[in-house]
Amino acid sequence: MNATTEFTPDTPQHVAIIMDGNGRWATRRGLPRLAGHRKGVESVRDLVKAAPGLGITYLTIFAFSTENWKRAEAEVTGLMNLLRRYITKESAKLMSNNVRVRFIGGRERLDEDLQRLMLGLEERTEANDGLQLTVALNYGGRAELARAAGRVAQDVAVGKLRAEDVTEDRFAGYLDTAGLPDPDLVIRTSGENRISNFLLWQAAYSEYVFVDTCWPDFTPDDLAACLDRFRQRERRFGAVVG
């Protein structure tokens, strides 16, 4: 399948990906787990480049969860260093490709230098109107909902908002993803069939595709195949069609 195949109107505009299987990919090859993460970064680079040609406007990737802190300290440190290098090395390319980058998730636990790099990339790419890339870092869906509820409570306490005016649409404006459309399609790699606390609110009506391929081997052609599977489904959003 050619990853640049012309897309149709039913192509998902927002695709979110749980990038799973880096460690297993490396272990199967007798390599350290960080080798899988390094190879996974190459997959991110390839998909960011290919996404606009596939008709994707919004791409959200799950880079590091709130639960990933439980991993070995060396692996966590290596992941954070990989992210630093990605931001530093890819910044110019992201700008030239008109990609806007946002980060979602709690930042308070991240090193200050990493926070500065993240903020700098967000500010530099803010005016870009090409692919809208969202990176979920130190992100958990439950933690996000708790943060949003806290913001709502604060606004109610100071009189900026009445409790009876908290609708679903208004609440969504307090989430980390405020201003972004909900994902049409969520993909998880590596053969696991669970959502792992990812975009719990936003993916309420998303279509899911689970693939056996580990993330380092996931290519733009694999992404195109997932889009084809999406096109074969009928999305009813709770209604009865026909």
Query: Residues annotated in the binding site, as ranges?
Result: 20-25, 33, 37, 65-67, 69, 71, 188, 194-196, 207
Catalytic site includes residue 20? yes
Catalytic site includes residue 212? no
Enumerate the β-bridge partners of residue 15.
Answer: 59, 185
**Other residues' Cβ atoms within 10 Å of the Cβ of residue 229:** 13
Q: Please give the DSSP secondary-structure letter assigned to residue 99.
A: -
Binding residue positions for Mg(2+): 20, 207
Q: How many CA atoms are closer than 13 Å to the CA of 80, on its beta-carbon side?
A: 19
In this structure, what token pair is assigned to residue 96?
């030239």
**Other residues' Cβ atoms within 10 Å of the Cβ of residue 204:** 10
Binding residue positions for substrate: 21-25, 33, 37, 65-67, 69, 71, 188, 194-196
Q: Are 38 and 79 in contact (CB under 8 A)?
A: no
Residue from 2, 10, 68, 169 carrying the catalytic annotation: 68
Q: Are 46 and 90 in contact (CB under 8 A)?
A: no
In this structure, what token pair is assigned to residue 89?
């090395």
Q: Which residues participate in catalysis according to the annotation?
A: 20, 68
